[in-house]
Amino acid sequence: MPLDPAQRHQIEQDAITAAWEAEHLAACDDAIALLREIADLDRDDDGDAFIATDADGHNDLMSRISAFLAKQDQ
C-alpha cells in the first residue's frame, strides 16, 4: 500500500532530523575529545595550560582545533 503524501513528507522530515542530530552528536564527541586533550596538558602555577609549538612552529592540537572550528562554521 503506497504512502500518502503527508506520510511520505513526515518520513522525509524524520530522516533529515535524524541525520542532523547524528551530525551534531558527532561534533560534540569531537569537541569533548579535544577538550580532554587540553585538560591533560601541563599547566603553569596559575593553572594555565601550556599549548606550545614544535621547532617548526607547528602545533597538532591547535591545528585540529582550528580545523574543527572551521568545519562547524559551515
Cα(58)–Cα(62) distance, integer angstroms: 8
* Residue 34 CB partners (closer than 8 Å, separation 6+): 61, 64, 65, 68
> Residue 42 has what pLDDT?
81
Nearest Cα residue to 68 out of 40, 39, 20, 34: 34
Average pLDDT score over residue span 5-9: 92
pTM of the model: 0.63
* pLDDT at residue number 46: 86
Q: What is the pLDDT of residues 17-57, one digit of tens each?
A: 999 999 999 999 999 988 888 888 788 888 887 777 777 77
The pLDDT value given to residue 74: 73
- Local confidence band at 8 (pLDDT 50, 70, 90 cut-offs): very high
